[in-house]
Chain A
Amino acid sequence: MCRNSENQSFSLLVYRSLVLSRKSLIISILTVMSLTAMFLLILLSAEKGNIAKYSTDANNLKNTIEVMRIAGQFTPLLMLMAVPEFFSQDYGRTVWRYFKKSTPVTPFRTAASYYMLPIIYVIIAVVMMAVFMLGDYLITGEAIGKGRIAISLLAMLISVFSAVYVSFFVQLFKGSMAATVVSFFTLMVPFFVWDIKRGLNSNGNANNLSLDSISEKATPYIPLMIIGIVLIFFIGIVLSAMLYKRREK
C-alpha cells in the first residue's frame, strides 16, 4: 500500500472546494482587479488628467479623490462576501456530507481546510489593497501613513468577522435560508441601532465620525487588529470543527 507525504495533504483537502469555487474565485479576482484599475484611473484623472483639468471646484475635486481612495481601498474586501458560499457547498449535496463523514478526516482538519479558501481570499484582498495604495502613492505622491493602514486593517477586521460570523450560521443551520436571516438580523440590526442612536445623540450632526478620526483612533491598535484577524479565523475553525463533529439527526 502506498503511503506518501502527498497523501492527506491540506492542498488536496482544499482541492474540491477550489474546483467548485474556481469560477466565483476568478470572477471575484477579475472584478476586484478591474475596479481597482478603474479607481486608480479616476484618481489619475482627478490628479493629473481631464477631471483635474476641467474641474472648477477645488472642494469637489478633493472630495472625488477621497471617494476614489475609499472605494479603491475597500473594494477588495467585497471578495470576502463569497466566503459563506464555501460553507454552503457541503449542504447542497447530502450524500457528499455523509461520504465525508465516512472518511478518516478529523473535524479539525476538515474545518481548517474549509478556511483555506477564505484565507486565500484575504491574502488576495490584502495584495489588491496594497496595489491600490501603491498606485495612489505613485499618482498623488502622498506617502501611505499608518492611519490608512490602520483603517484598512479595521475594515479587514470587520469584513473577516462578518464573513466568519455568517459562515457560522450557514453551518449551524446547514445552509438553509435561516442562516441568512439570523446572521443579517444579529449583525446588521445592532449596527443600524447604533448608527441611529449616534445620529440622535449628535443632534443631527452625525458626520462627526470621519474617516480621519477613525484612522487616528485605530492607529495604535494595528498589532491588535492583526492578532484579531488571526484570532477570528482561529475561532471560526474551532467553531466549524465543533459543528462538523455534531451528528445528523
Chain B
Amino acid sequence: MSDYVNALEINGLTKKYDGFTLDNVSFNVQKGSIMGFIGQNGSGKSTTIKAILNIIGVNSGEIKIFGKDHIKSEYEVKEDIAAVFDELPFHDIFTAVQIEKIMRGLYKNWNKDQYFAYLDRFSLPRKKKVGQFSKGMKMKLQIAAALSHGARLLIMDEATTGLDPVVRNEILDIFHEYLQDEENSILMSSHITSDLDKIADSVTFIDKGKILLTGYKDEILENHAVIKCSKADYEKLDKADVVSARLNDFGAEAMVFDRENAKKKYPSLAFDSTTLEEIMLFYVNREKKEWK
C-alpha cells in the first residue's frame, strides 16, 4: 500500500496568459476515486492538466502527484500516470501493433499482453491503420494504451467529447473496473456532465480560470437545489442564498447552494434536486445573477 492520501494535490496554481489567468486553483483527487473536472470550453481545464503534466510552466502554486513534487519527481511519477487526450496522439499511418512498439519504448512497466487483451476486448483491429478508425475506436485504442502500463493516475482531457453514448458508456464501464483497484485514481475533465453524474466521486467546477466549487459529488448535489417559483416568490428570496436565477415568462428557477438552510427560510417553496449540468449553468451565469 502506498502512503499518500491524495493521488493529486493542487495548491494555489496560477498561470497568467494575456487575456486569461488560471487563478489560484486548488483541489485534490483522492486516491481510489474519480474526480470530474467540469467547465465550459476555455475555462482552464486543459491549462490545469498541462500544468499537472508539466507541459507548461506556472507562475505560482504547488502540484503533488502521489505525494511527490510534480517537477522534482517528474519522470518518476510519470511512469505511473496515463494521459488521454481528446485526439489520438499517433499519426494516421500507424497500426495498433506499431503503436504497441512505440508505447513499449516509452514505459518501463509496459504490458504488451494487457494491451492486446484490451484490443481484443474492444474488437479493435491490430493491423489496420488508425487513420481508418472511427473516433470511438481511436479513443478506445488510446485508453487501451493508457491502461497497459500500470498507471495509478489516469488524466483524461475531454476524452469522451464527441463520442456516441454507447461508446461513452463502454468507456465508463472500463473506468469502473479500473477503480476496483483502490490504488488507482482518475481525473476526468469534461463538459459532458452526464458522464460525470454517473461515475464521479467528486467534482471540481472551474470557470474563467477560477474554481467555483470542489468536493464530493453527492454532497454538492445534496446541498444544491432548484426552486421553481413565480416571479413574485423569487423577488422575496434573499439573493445571498441564490447562486443565480433563470427567468422566463412563466416564473423563475433559482438555484440555492444551501438546500437545508433555504428549506427552513422558505418552507412554502418546492425544492427540486439538481444535476451537475444545472449547477454548471447556474454558476457560470452567477455574475448576471438573473438570466434567461
A-side residues, CB < 8 A to B, are 1-3, 6-9, 11-13, 15-16, 19-20, 93, 95-96, 98-106, 247-249
- Residue from A3, A93, A106 within 8 A of B109 (CB atoms): A3
CA distance A7 to B100 in the complex (A): 11
Given A2-B113, A16-B94, A96-B91, 4 other A-B residues pairs in contact with their CB atoms under 8 A: A2-B112, A12-B102, A16-B102, A95-B85
Q: Number of contacts between A and B (CB, 8 Å)?
A: 97
Q: Which residues of B contact A106 (CB under 8 A)?
A: 75
Are A102 and B78 closer than 8 Å at their CB atoms?
A: yes
Are B53 and A102 closer than 8 Å at their CB atoms?
A: yes
CA distance A6 to B94 in the complex (A): 20
Given contacts A93-B89, A96-B89, A102-B55, contact A8 B102 (CB under 8 A): no
| B247 CB within 8 Å of chain A | no
| B93 CB within 8 Å of chain A | yes
Given contacts A20-B91, A98-B89, contact A7 B53 (CB under 8 A): no
CA distance A9 to B101 in the complex (A): 10
**B86 CB, min distance to chain A CBs, angstroms:** 8
Are A93 and B50 closer than 8 Å at their CB atoms?
A: no
| B104 CB within 8 Å of chain A | yes
Q: Which residues of B contact A247 (CB under 8 A)?
A: 54-57
**B54 CB, min distance to chain A CBs, angstroms:** 7
Are A15 and B105 closer than 8 Å at their CB atoms?
A: yes
Are A98 and B55 closer than 8 Å at their CB atoms?
A: yes
Are B76 and A9 closer than 8 Å at their CB atoms?
A: no
**A5 CB, min distance to chain B CBs, angstroms:** 11
Can you list 14 contacts pairing A with B, beta carbon distance less than 8 Å? Answer: A2-B109, A8-B105, A12-B101, A19-B93, A19-B94, A95-B89, A99-B83, A99-B85, A100-B106, A103-B78, A104-B78, A104-B108, A247-B54, A248-B56
